[in-house]
Every structure is written in C-alpha cells, then in structure tokens.
Structure 1
Amino acid sequence: MSIIKYFTITGEYITLGQFLKEESFISSGGQAKFYLQDNPVTLNGELEQRRGKKIFANDRLLVNGQEYEFRQED
C-alpha cells in the first residue's frame, strides 16, 4: 500500500494534463496525450486517458504507483 500524497487545487478544478505537468510527470502539456497512452492512470478507480479531464477536490488519482488525493485550497 502506498502513501497518499495530497494535492491542493487552487481553483475549482485542475485538468489531468495540468496535474501531470505540475507534478513533473511530463515537461510540457503536449506530452500529456502520449504519457496517458503509455502509462495507465486511474481516477476514482477508473482508467482515464483524457488529458482535459477535470479533477476536483476529494478525487483520487493513481499515477505511476503513487496515489494522490485532491483538496480544495482554503
């Protein structure tokens, strides 16, 4: 079981592509499509391959064996 990392969303949501760039899984937004084709990413237990998918507070994401839980900025 992995340790859950918490990620704070500053707006209403963050897109999957923005998150991957923010956490340095990719170096540019254009790489998101290819990263998601080659690396399984699950959002709330379901496979997700859309770089524009909106992630909201309380969502859970599994990327490269690391689990993230999203929180809203206070």
Structure 2
Amino acid sequence: MQESKIVQIEGPFITLGQLLKEESIIASGGAAKWFLRENEVLVNDEIDQRRGRKLYPNDHVTVPEAGSFVIQSK
C-alpha cells in the first residue's frame, strides 16, 4: 500500500478543490468540478464530489492515480 503524503495547511481548513490544485492534480480551480464528477475521490473513505468540501487536520483524501493525502496543521 502506498504511503500517504502529508499536506500541511496554515489555516483551520483547506477545501477539496484547493487541495487538488495545490497538489497539481488539476491545472486550475475551475477544473475541480469536472474532475470530481469524473473521478471517485474519497474523503475519509467516502466518495465526495464537493469542491468546497472543507478538509481539516487528520482528514484523509484518496485521489485515483494521484495517491493518498493526510491533512495536518503547520
């Protein structure tokens, strides 16, 4: 099983769309809606298609072809 990448955030949360953009999974924030509709992204082991989904420390995100990510505070 692939090890999860740690994503450190400065504020209290990051949105799912921001995470996809910061990790270079999508080219722009506008692509998030399309990407989430076409791919089975898991947030804490549940499918989520909301680009505005707030991700907090200790949330786990799995993106097809890109791997797993764990949110942590700086």
User: Cα offset for 1:71?
Assistant: 0.5
What CA distance in whole angstroms lies between the structure 2 residues aligned with 1:58 and 1:43?
A: 11
User: Cα offset for 1:48?
Assistant: 0.5
Residue-by-residue CA offset, 1:28-48 (whole Å, 9 max, x unaligned):
111000000111100001000
Residue-by-residue CA offset, 1:6-59 (whole Å, 9 max, x unaligned):
000111100000110000111111100000011110000100000000000000
How do 1:1-74 residues align onto structure 2 when only pairs under 5 Å count?
1-65=1-65, 66-73=67-74
Q: Would you say how many aligned residue pairs link Structure 1 and Structure 2?
A: 73
| Runs (4+) off by over 6 Å | none
What is the aligned-residue RMSD (CA, Å)?
0.8
* 5+ residue gaps, structure 1: none
What CA distance in whole angstroms lies between the structure 1 residues aligned with 2:70 and 2:29?
A: 21
SS at match of 1:20: helix
* TM-score normalised by the chain length of structure 2: 0.94
* TM-score normalised by the chain length of structure 1: 0.94
* 5+ residue gaps, structure 2: none
